[in-house]
Amino acid sequence: MAEKAIKILSPNRLSILLILLAVIYLPSLQNGYVGWDDALVGNNKNIRSLSPGNLVHIFVPRPFDSSYQPMRTLAHALVYAVNGTRPFGYLVFNILLYLVNVFLFYKVVKLLLELHGNDSPSISADTVSLASAVVFGLLPVHVEVISWLQGGKQTLMAAFFLGSFYCYLCFRKEGRESFYWAGVFLFVLSLASQPGALAMPLVILAYETFIYGCGGRSVLRRTLEICWRTMPFVLPAVILGFQLLFVSTVGKSLSARPPLLSSIFTAPILWGKYLIKLFLPVNLTCRYPLAAPEIPLLIQGITMAVLIIFIGLTAYRAAGRNKAGLFGVLWFALTLLPTSGLAATSTLMADRYLYLPSMGFALIAGLIYGRLESARDSSLAGTAGWQRIFFRVLILGVVTSWTLISIRRQLDWRDAVTLWSRVIEVYPRHDLANFNLAEAYGKKGMTREAAGYYKRAIQSNPYYGDAYVNLGVCLRNLGEDREAIDVLELGRTLRPDRAEVWINLGISYARTGQDSAALAAFEKGINLGGRSAWIGYYNRAKLLAARGLVDQAAVDFRKAVEYSPEWVTTEAWLDLGRSLESLGNTVMAVKLMSLGKNEPAFDKSCWRMLGNLQLLAGSPGEALESLNTALDKGAQDYQTYVLLGIACQQAGKSQKAVEAYRRALEIGGPDRAGLLNNLALAFRESGDLDQSEKYFLEALKEKGDYIEVWVSLGGLYRQKGNLLEARLCLKKALELCATKPSLNDKAREIRRLLDELK
């Protein structure tokens, strides 16, 4: 009767668990981008379309990509189709996938116990599977894969991974080949989500060797069968491994890795730290200061390896010395192996690398809990009474503390500044954390704060070449060009292979008048290539333009756009326009600025800038075309309508000028008096002298000492035949000129006009 009640209640308890987990992770929905997400989510053009052509582009591997993860990109594309680039949708996706994984893990544990629970008949499969799901669902180390926008690649990989192994268990239970091949298919999808799935063939091999058993067959026959069953899982893993080593950038990074022997003896130390994070999840951060040394840590590695083996054996015994307990230990070890420093990864240690291995930990914990709850287990019969109460209080305390830690940890992923500030709080001398926090402040426009943290990164690591480069840029932006050059020169000695250091040196040299040194530095940076080469072309073009070498500058501007059109931003075009306008050669400015007309980043602001340059160059017709394009692109602002009015006036379209100026008046802007003057002049040119007089007078109400308006109003009265009023206006203008010696030429012109009225 009791067992029947458990069967009825278990699904409900699982549903309650999933709801509680969803509530616990609701704070994650307020998180945003933290810098690591920009390229894969916010700025990823591959997720912007679900067209057949783009789907092919997603799934076809390309040389020198970081790794092959098309399912991750497809998942982001599906979320983008519904949500755009808002973080909210991707975080909802992460939470939902996490809940799916908890459910799948529950099903896998339950099926595993149904298949191999005969050696511990007193343990309830429902109790153990639910307890394991609770442990897995509440582990604080999982916050990273949920609260980080990119974390969904781990949960997506795990969903296919668990689904694949569940299908394999169904195959072993029912013998249907369809389950087996479904498992292989899901494994391929798991590999296409994240390379951590490479552990699956090892898991299958361990299951077949140590758990499933021989079934009375000979060793040779059983060995051949294991090889046959494992091979379809091995082949996709080998193909992905080949891609990682010889096609992607992973293979390139192997040359910079520490010796293999150092990695081998560092692995046990890494595992020890991971076990601490599982048992005592404090000081969790997105980065840990752990790296494999050049000299192997023989004593420490061997000592930790012995300790880990002892912990594994103890866990196996505590779980009941059954097949499920053995499988939990094997699962933890084998799924952690790919991220144990033996293969190239983005960082040696990370919470997300514990996502799959923690399932083995949760299974062991669930088995131990099942034994404690089983009154029929003779070895634990004495745990009744106060001991059982003690264990329940202990479990409640663990669950509560894990929940509070998880909620607090989610806040660390609110934004980049919060994330890296947390790392520095735990590890103040972490050079990468200081570097990334500096970058986060830089993106917020807090240049001085950024410079301070770049200096801290250099103090922690005096050989941090990238920190010198970025610090130099900060100093230049703060106007400290000489200091910037000194810092960038140090960066050049440490990172001579980085194009950015040469290009930034060139910019600083140009700003301090060292043109020859600047051109040489730009040439070096451009020759090194990379995505920053366009910046070299762009800034060299600005320098050439300043020296009057228009044709050479035009060639470089075109190369900048052709080299990397997606990186030539709107601000880059506007910066170009402002720089060229300051040179005074407006004809050259128009020629160079016009190169961007067909570029995606050439938006309404750029068209307005081009229109202004065309006005200055005396081309009102071209300016009209550019300004109308700006309006078509949404530039319904004061400045655009003022420029449009000026262009219309210069083109002889007075009525159109009136319409543009009136629209600018409706919007409102900084120089109302000047705008009223322009409107009055436009009315005068259109022949409406009464409206012209009205707006001249309004302009004088705004600014009584507006000399140009007094002169124009005098001319208007002369045109209307009111010579007395014309003289009064001109005399007022002459009085205003007398207060400003710089206006002597203007005063002489006004006297001439007065003489004509005598």
Residue with tokens 């629970």: 117
Neighbours of 672 (CB within 10 A): 16
- The CA distance from 719 to 520, in Å, is 62
Q: What is the mean pLDDT of residues 547-560?
A: 75
Question: What is the predicted pLDDT for the residue at 6?
Answer: 41
Q: Domains of the chain (ranges plus CATH)? A: 2-258+370-410 (no CATH), 683-758 (1.25.40.10)
Number of neighbours of residue 575 by Cβ within 10 angstroms: 15
| Rounded CA separation 525/501 (Å) | 8
pLDDT at 11: 59
Give the model's pLDDT for residue 380: 46
Q: Higher confidence at residue 447 or residue 748?
A: 447
Q: Cα(576)–Cα(77) distance, rounded to whole angstroms?
A: 34
Cα angle, residue 493 at apex, residues 491 and 494 outer, rounded to 5°: 65
The model's pLDDT over 490-524, given as tens digits with 9 standing for 90+, comes to 988 998 888 888 988 898 998 888 988 988 998 88
For the chain, give percent helix, strand, coil, nearest 5.
80, 0, 20
- Mean pLDDT value of segment 723-736: 86
Read off φ and ψ for residue 316, nearest 5 degrees.
Answer: -60, -45
Residue 457 contacts residue 434 (beta carbons within 8 Å) = yes
The pLDDT-based confidence of 193 (bands split at 50, 70, 90) is very high
Q: What are phi and psi of 457, to 5 degrees?
A: -65, -40
The structure tokens listed for 553 are 């500058």
Q: Where are the alpha helices (DSSP H) in 247-354?
A: 249-253, 260-279, 298-318, 323-336
- For the cut 70, the answer to whether the pLDDT of residue 323 exceeds it is yes
Segment 468-493 shows an average pLDDT of: 90
pLDDT digits (tens, 9 = 90+) for 639-657: 888 888 889 888 888 888 8
Of all residues in the chain, the percent with pLDDT exceeding 90 is 37
Please state the φ and ψ torsions of residue 402, each to the nearest 5 degrees. Answer: -60, -40
Q: How confident is the model at residue 3 (pLDDT cuts 50, 70, 90)?
A: very low
Whether pLDDT at 326 is above 60: yes
- Tokens 């530039």 — which residue? 635
Ranges 26-35, 683-692, 734-743, most confident: 26-35
DSSP calls for 426-465: H-TT-HHHHHHHHHHHHHTT-HHHHHHHHHHHHHH-TT-H
pLDDT at residue 163 is higher than 80: yes
Higher pLDDT, 332 or 551: 332
One-letter amino acid of 26: L
What is the per-residue pLDDT across 565-596, written as a single tens digit (0 to 9) for each?
555 555 665 566 666 666 566 776 777 677 77
The predicted pLDDT at position 377 comes to 47
Contacts (Cβ under 8 Å, ≥6 apart) of 195: 67, 68, 69, 240, 244, 338
pLDDT at 639: 87
Question: How many Å apart are CA 184 and CA 233, to the nearest integer?
Answer: 6
DSSP 605-633: HHHHHHHHHHHHTT-HHHHHHHHHHHHHT
CA 132 centroid distance within chain? 34
pLDDT band at 105 (very low <50, low <70, confident <90, very high): very high
- 457-478 in b/e form (b: 16+ CB < 10 A) is bbebbeebbbbbbbbbbbbbbe
Backbone φ, ψ for residue 247 (5° rounding): -115, -45
- For residue range 406-437, what is the model confidence (pLDDT) as tens digits? 999 999 999 999 999 999 999 999 999 999 99
Task: State the pLDDT at residue 536.
Answer: 85
Distance CA 31, CA 147 (A): 7
Where does 60-122 have alpha helices with state H? 70-83, 87-116
Is 155's pLDDT higher than 80? yes
Per-residue CA distances from 539 to 36, 408, 438, 471, 523 (Å): 27, 45, 24, 19, 11
**Confidence (pLDDT) at 569:** 58
pLDDT in tens, 432-466: 999 999 999 998 989 999 999 999 999 999 999 99
- Average pLDDT (67-85) is 90
- Picking from 395, 260, 402, the residue whose alpha carbon sits closest to that of residue 341 is 260
Q: What is the mean pLDDT of residues 181-189?
A: 96
Note the pLDDT of residue 363: 95
Q: Minimal CA–CA distance to 204: which of 177, 231, 181?
A: 231
Q: Which two tokens stand for residue 223?
A: 């060995």
In this prediction, residue 572 carries a pLDDT of: 62
* Confidence (pLDDT) at 257: 67
* Amino acid at residue number 542: K
Encode pLDDT of 363-388 as tens digits. Answer: 999 998 888 777 544 444 454 556 66
Count the residues in the chain.
758
Radius of gyration of the chain (CA): 36
| Type of residue found at 425 | E
Take residue 471 and report the two structure tokens written for it.
């610090």
The reported pLDDT for the residue numbered 214 is 62
* pLDDT tens, position by position, 682-700: 888 888 888 888 888 888 8
| Average pLDDT of span 390-398 | 82
